[in-house]
Structure 1
Amino acid sequence: MYTKHAEKRVQQRGISQEVCEMLLSYGDEKFDGHGGIVQYFSEKSVSRLIAEKGIQYCKKNIKQFKAYLVKSARDGAIITVGIDRTPHKFKVLGAA
């Protein structure tokens, strides 16, 4: 379930529902200290995704791995989504 805020951010930031579903299925989690859980792609989660979807799929969609979402720890509703501007290097993909 997406909050109205999250629906707006998905549109504004061009993050597809498929990416959000991949984050929910494969992304690592960390608590944000404010009642939310941040889900993001890490080296480990990208490795799990490669095992399931294949290396070519992942290399083709590497830019999507900078996406993250924040969901409620209480009910799991997606509060917001965004793109991490920090440079990433996923060694398992051999690319930045």
Structure 2
Amino acid sequence: MTFRRIISQTKFETLSVLRNGEQLLLSVIFPLGLLVFLAKTPLLTGLGVIDAGADPLSIAVPGALSLSLASSAFTGQAIATAFDRRYGVLRQL
């Protein structure tokens, strides 16, 4: 019973994020872009964040996850409220 609720909530949240392009951009596309950028460019080595032989993913993955979490936390509710307003949900409250 609990497992079905978790799956149902996960499905609802996933579909909600995929329907709203702004949330998808902030939650998935920007962090993936940052991850690819930091992993493929010598920026971290040039700034002295990691040594020349070190793996850039050791810094890029936590950075991308942090960006995803922060962007979702700070803007997710505002974007969801804007979509609710557009669809007329706020009038019904």
Tell me the TM-score normalised to structure 2 length.
Answer: 0.29
More helix by share: 2
- Kindly name which structure, 1 or 2, has the bigger radius of gyration based on alpha carbons: 2
Tell me the TM-score normalised to structure 1 length.
Answer: 0.28
More strand by share: 1
